[in-house]
Structure 1
Amino acid sequence: METTSSSRVGVQPAAEETASAPAPTPSPAAEQEHGGPQPVPVARRAVPNYLKAEFPWYGLDEAFTGPRWLMQLGTAADGTVEHGSVGHGDEPSVRGEIATGEKERFAVVVTVASNPLRRSGDGTGVLEATSVSSAAWLAGSGLLAFSWPGQMDHNLRNDWLDQQTEAAWELADDLAGPDWSTLSLPVDGVPTPFHYRESEFGWVLAGSTEAGVHLGAYGRGMSAYGLAFAKAGDLAAYA
């Protein structure tokens, strides 16, 4: 893979990154109607941080009419946005369908900037270029974050997650291996090849776009075969 394990560091939830962001001031009419100043949803406060990215964000195209929401941003040591995720459908929970049988239908799209060099976490060096494998790794580990095998004791989950995360890293490092197949999906209307794999926890795919970014995606309950991706022109739709 063209990334190193150091690239796993620096992913921060959107909620944490925006906790100190100033909230817009509501209009007096709105305050009067609702009995005082109203809190601004965390996702809406996260939009300015997403807008700091120097690359286009991707999500599902307009054919998807369900809920959309912001998830996580990953930044470099100097604060540059390197990647991020946006969700579609039901917001997944850790103890979701795998453990409880409750049906969750979601697809998460990960956009990764195509960077030839990145600063290391301590600011003293550089990391190798991002690649399709970077997107595959982020998607695979993202799916695991919302997976919990049924009947597994809470105390054992961390060990299981460590093992599965390492396996996802190795799989992302071998996109030409037998665990992956190929799938063509539209990106901005252009048929684009993706690496694709399924597991008991859901599906993962990864590819690159003509816009110069790498895309990863993962989901459960929604078929990957019917997806199409497009630039997210209005991030307010995700807030």
Structure 2
Amino acid sequence: MKTTSRVEADGFLRAPFAWYGLDEAFTGPRRMMQIGTAADGTVQHGSMGHGDEPSIKSEAGSAEKERFAVVVTVAANPERRTGDGTGVLDATTVSSAAWLAGSGLLAHTWPASLDHGLRDHWLDQQTETAFELADDLDGPAWSTLSLPVDGVPVPFHYRESEFGWVLAGSAGDVHIGAYGRGMSAYGLGFSRVKDLGAYGA
């Protein structure tokens, strides 16, 4: 099982926003995954894993039994100046969470029929598609799904693909994205992480 580096664990602990994961209805293993930081080191987003450790879906049937859901928390920030005042940081939106979730799912995906040498090209194409989809959350690729966040129903944008599902929505001062395989998104609930120790901190 992959362990979280000390740097990543420290990043989760010093984030200026609350982390979200699956609620207490999920009783399987939990773990911290990656964090993303701005140039000045401020934590911008991160991922919490639930269930199986995702592997690259490279051989037919090899990952079909995987059951996992990864929850991405993104700090909800308006457009703002960089710390040194020399530039502007892009605002984060629900599309940011959708993009991170979509690209996260792709990172654990590799069609069985694909030659190893073509994977980078395939990944570039799919990543561009995921970006375009995330930028058009009202488009036909997405449906709406209501899921509880801290017990309150929240609307999420939701889509499925042959590789798994992706969803994204907002809750207070964060945007929440999620992706998974083998676990139905329709039965999920999210809640604020009260104890990072449950994720290995």
* TM-score, length-scaled by structure 1: 0.78
Name 1:131's counterpart in structure 2.
93
C-alpha RMSD of matched pairs (Å): 2.1
Q: Write the distance in 1 (CA, Å) between the matches of 2:48 and 2:159.
A: 20
Q: Write the distance in 2 (CA, Å) between the matches of 1:97 and 1:188.
A: 38
2:181 to 217, 220, 223: 220
Q: Write the distance in 2 (CA, Å) between the matches of 1:82 and 1:204.
A: 20
Q: Write the distance in 2 (CA, Å) between the matches of 1:144 and 1:113.
A: 22
Q: Write the distance in 1 (CA, Å) between the matches of 2:150 and 2:58.
A: 32
AA in 2 matched with 1:227: L
Alignment of 1:95-110 (within 5 A): 95=57, 100-110=62-72
Name 2:167's counterpart in structure 1.
205
Cα drift, residue 101 of structure 1: 4.8
Name 2:192's counterpart in structure 1.
231
2:135 to 167, 173, 186: 173
Q: Write the distance in 2 (CA, Å) between the matches of 1:114 and 1:63.
A: 26
Query: What is the number of residues matched between the two proteins?
Result: 199
1:70 to 16, 23, 32: 32
The structure 1 segments of at least 4 consecutive aligned residues displaced by more than 3 Å after TM superposition are 41-46, 95-99
> Are positions 1:58 and 2:58 aligned together?
no
Percent identity (aligned) = 73
Larger Rg: 1
The structure carrying a bigger strand percent of its residues is: 2
Cα drift, residue 125 of structure 1: 1.2
The structure carrying a bigger helix percent of its residues is: 1
Measured against aligned partners, the alpha-carbon deviations of 1:169-198 in whole angstroms (never above 9, x if no partner) come to: 000000000000000000000000000000
Measured against aligned partners, the alpha-carbon deviations of 1:104-139 in whole angstroms (never above 9, x if no partner) come to: 10000000001113567x984112210000000000
Alignment of 1:137-216 (within 5 A): 137-209=99-171, 211-216=172-177
Name 2:76's counterpart in structure 1.
114
Structure 2: 5+ residue stretches without partners: none
Name 2:52's counterpart in structure 1.
90
* TM-score, length-scaled by structure 2: 0.92
Q: Write the distance in 1 (CA, Å) between the matches of 2:36 and 2:57.
A: 24
